[in-house]
């Protein structure tokens, strides 16, 4: 089920994390592993396509950083457009959660009207 729930929240959560500070892909994967305590993980095969979508939409901007040692890292930062999109997504999210919770808390025997 978690797999399905991620659809629709992944971009929002990613924008949120990147709005804190610029991060690179592998860092995001490990950040999710650590914070999620096993739940809310993300695989790199999932992450990179999402970052491309966000970049293509103008929500994030990449920046290559060559290390003295090691493989170059691609840091992403959120654009102002991305900030607006994030706020919109968070609004939608809260709205959706409220609607579902309302359904879940209804009396079980109610009829139409």
Partner DNA sequence: TCTGGTGTCTTGCGACACAAGATAGTTTGT
Partner DNA sequence: ACAAACTATCTTGTGTCGCAAGACACCAGA
The binding site for DNA (CB under 7 A) comprises 2-4, 6-8, 10-11, 24-27, 30, 41-46, 48-53, 67, 69-74
Q: Is 84 in the site for a second copy (CB under 8 A)?
A: no
In whole angstroms, the minimum distance from the beta carbon of 68 to a second copy comes to 20
Distance CA 6, CA 17 (A): 15
Residue 16 vs 74, nearer CB to a second copy: 16
User: How far is residue 64 from each of residues 58, 75, 106, measured CA to CA in Å?
Assistant: 17, 6, 51
Q: Is 56 in the site for a second copy (CB under 8 A)?
A: no
- Residues of this chain that interact with a second copy (CB under 8 A) are 1-5, 7-9, 12-13, 16-17, 19-21, 31, 34-36, 39-40, 89-90, 92-93, 95-97, 99-100, 103-104, 106-112
């Amino acid at each position: 089920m978690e797999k399905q729930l991620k659809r629709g929240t992944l971009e929002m959560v990613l924008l949120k994390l990147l709005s804190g500070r610029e991060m690179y892909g592998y860092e995001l994967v490990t950040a999710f592993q650590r914070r999620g305590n096993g739940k809310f993980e993300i695989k790199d095969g999932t992450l990179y396509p999402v970052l491309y979508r966000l970049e293509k939409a103008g929500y994030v901007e990449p920046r290559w950083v060559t290390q003295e040692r090691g493989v170059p890292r691609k840091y992403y930062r959120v654009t102002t457009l991305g900030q607006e999109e994030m706020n919109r997504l968070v609004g939608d999210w809260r709205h959706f959660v409220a609607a579902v919770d309302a359904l879940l808390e209804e009396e079980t025997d109610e009829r139409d009207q």
